[in-house]
Amino acid sequence: MKGKRLEVKGLHKSFGPVVAVRDVSFAVDAGEIYVLLGPSGCGKTTILRMIAGLERPDSGDILIGGRSVLHLPPERRNVGLLFQSYALFPHMDVLGNVAYGLRFRGVPRRERVKRARELIELVGLSGLERRKPHELSHGQRQRVALARALAPSPDVLLLDEPLSALDAALRVELRWELRRILKERGITSVYVTHDQEEALSLADRLAVMREGGIEREGTPEEVYSAPGTPFVASFLGKANLWPGVLRRGEEGVFVEIGRWRFGVEDPGIGEGERVYLFFRPEDVELGEGPWEASVERVEFHGDRWEVRGKLGELELVAFSREPVRAGGTVRFRFVRAPRVMPIPERGGNRLDSGGARGYEGKTWSP
């Protein structure tokens, strides 16, 4: 089994006055796992439905293996689908569910059974071939659904939040198993999720979507460390975004925020430009250093404490391996130099004035 290259070119889709997808383009190499990450309503599922042929784009093109599939009905695109709802046939056993789609491909019965058994073994369900869906756990049902989607040897596999109905521990287990299977079989995959941890662990490359468009694309490491916009910085992990002004002087380049100055690497931005000082919680070490923050809230996360406090009016979110007391103060230093991010001129990414927050994607009110 080997997938084919997928190309999405300038897709645009509206439902009445609502624009669901805005001029989206991306390419997925054969055997690559590409993740579309974003909040509900950003257009992720609509893109999958257009690739599958369940929705027709207003404009743009979709190519699989270098050939446009826009004129083809869903059943002729050789695209596999895996959704949150397993959609298994309750009257069929595991073997029957997995082999079902092969009947319509003209595959002889003996070959159908052989291929289905191979896939059942691949997803770790050997010995359960004769069980009905109601006799399986949720995780086992999702494995059956995956095997069924793989049975016809699709050129592209589309996965829409397939693990979201499972409990947290099972999601972690199955996402690693899912990645292993997809990479082992060389399947070209587009995976939709709103779960940032899932996106980071599964993706070869990911795209963060917002309001129908792609805001940032790259490897998980690239997007996390250099998000490019405040929205991406905050949606993909926790972020400290402090608005200030870029200054240049004899001592180097720094961001001026009120009475404080923070040294940064030269970002190639002009003197006096309004920017964000951007850093992740793990870029800060608590306990000693030149800065002192008041501690307002502490949350225990098992392996660490999440500390929220303030440096003047600047809101700080940091991690600590040692307990920290709310209501006190804590000194801190940067273990990795903060980065500079231009403040967008318009739109919901902008903080107009005042303090800043360790932002988590809810509101931009300081």
25 lies in which domain range? 6-225
**pLDDT tens, position by position, 22-63:** 999 999 999 999 999 999 999 999 999 999 999 999 999 999
**pLDDT tens, position by position, 207-251:** 999 999 999 999 999 999 999 999 999 999 899 999 999 999 888
Please state the rounded mean pLDDT for residues 159-178: 87
Among 179, 210, 225, the domain-final residue is 225
Tell whether 128 and 10 lie within a shared domain: yes
Tell whether 123 and 243 lie within a shared domain: no
Tell whether 72 and 119 lie within a shared domain: yes
Tell whether 219 and 328 lie within a shared domain: no
Please state the rounded mean pLDDT for residues 260-275: 93
Among 176, 204, 225, the domain-final residue is 225
Measured CA to CA, the distance from residue 218 to residue 205 in angstroms comes to 5
Whether residue 357 has pLDDT greater than 50 = no
Tell whether 219 and 234 lie within a shared domain: no
Tell whether 161 and 53 lie within a shared domain: yes
Answer whether 42's CB lies under 8 Å from 211's CB. yes
**pLDDT tens, position by position, 121-140:** 989 999 999 999 999 998 89
**pTM for the complete prediction?**
0.88
Tell whether 29 and 154 lie within a shared domain: yes
Closest CA to 281 of 265, 261, 301, 263: 301
What φ, ψ does residue 224 adopt, rounded to 5°? -70, -45
Tell whether 211 and 256 lie within a shared domain: no
364 located within any domain: no
Write down the pLDDT at residue 173. 85
Tell whether 217 and 203 lie within a shared domain: yes
Angstrom distances, CA of residue 88 to CA of 53, 140, 236, 352: 21, 11, 33, 51
Number of domains forming the structure of the chain: 2
Q: Look up the CATH number of the domain holding residue 69.
A: 3.40.50.300
Q: Which of 71-80, 237-246, 255-264, 343-352 has the lowest average pLDDT?
A: 343-352
Residues of the chain above pLDDT 90, percent: 78
Please state the rounded mean pLDDT for residues 156-178: 88
* pLDDT class of 345 with cuts at 50, 70, 90: low
Tell whether 241 and 219 lie within a shared domain: no
More confident residue, 349 or 178: 178
* pLDDT class of 77 with cuts at 50, 70, 90: very high
366 located within any domain: no
Tell whether 148 and 248 lie within a shared domain: no
Closest CA to 319 of 298, 289, 293, 339: 298
Tell whether 265 and 193 lie within a shared domain: no
* pLDDT class of 347 with cuts at 50, 70, 90: very low
* pLDDT class of 346 with cuts at 50, 70, 90: low
Please state the rounded mean pLDDT for residues 179-198: 94
Among 181, 204, 225, the domain-final residue is 225
